[in-house]
């Protein structure tokens, strides 16, 4: 074998090795590209799932806040309705005709007499003329009765009775409305 043939053989072997290296490199590149594409898709899928979870959580929170706000508005409307009912009742008590007020006050005095020995009776200044021996007191109406030495008082003023009634009814109304 001559030098020329040896050169040709070496060149041929090198070309075959280069082709094999190129083939191997191409296969490795395709495999790396395939793996990278898969990783990108997996990453995109993971991020999309995380985004969907975050959106769902934010939506759930927003819905809960809206529901809470709605409940607060309903509760406030119910409280306002209760207050309006008691304000209306208070107005009706304040505007009772004199004859009716007088009858109610006399009934309240009789009730007070069952509890204490009534010596002094206090009524609204407008009711003093219709109730014998009554003294004026800053009350909406009704009566405050007192024993002789002033140590015991029974408060049947409209203010006190309305407040007591409100407390009793508030629990019942709360159960039904709230």
pTM score, whole prediction = 0.59
In angstroms, the CA 139 to CA 145 distance is 13
Three-state DSSP class for residue 153:
strand
Q: 117 Cβ partners below 8 Å, 6+ apart?
A: 147, 148
Question: For residue 1, what pLDDT is reported?
Answer: 60
Q: Which long-range contacts (CB under 8 A, 24 or more apart) does 50-54 make?
A: none
CATH top class, domain 96-177: alpha beta
Domain ranges of the chain: 96-177
pLDDT at 53: 94
Q: Say what the pLDDT of residue 43 is.
A: 92
Q: How confident is the model over 106-152, as pLDDT tens digits?
A: 999 999 999 999 999 999 998 888 888 889 889 999 999 999 998 99
pLDDT tens for each residue of 37-77? 999 999 999 999 999 999 999 999 999 999 999 999 988 88
């Amino acid at each position: 074998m001559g030098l020329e043939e040896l050169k040709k053989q070496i060149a041929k072997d090198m070309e075959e090795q280069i082709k094999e290296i190129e083939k191997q490199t191409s296969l490795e590149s395709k495999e790396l590209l395939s793996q990278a594409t898969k990783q990108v898709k997996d990453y995109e899928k993971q991020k999309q799932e995380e985004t969907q979870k975050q959106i769902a959580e934010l939506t759930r929170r927003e819905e809960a806040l809206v529901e809470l706000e709605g409940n607060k508005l309903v509760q406030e409307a119910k409280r306002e309705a209760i207050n309006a009912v008691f304000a209306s009742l208070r107005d009706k008590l304040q505007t009772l005709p004199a004859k009716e007020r007088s009858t109610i006050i006399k009934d309240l005095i009789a009730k007070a007499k069952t509890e204490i020995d009534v010596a002094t009776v206090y009524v609204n200044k407008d009711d003093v003329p219709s109730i014998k021996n009554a003294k004026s007191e800053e009350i909406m109406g009704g009566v405050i009765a007192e024993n002789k030495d002033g140590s015991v008082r029974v408060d049947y003023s409209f203010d006190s009775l309305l407040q007591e009634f409100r407390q009793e009814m508030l629990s019942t109304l709360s159960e039904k409305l709230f």
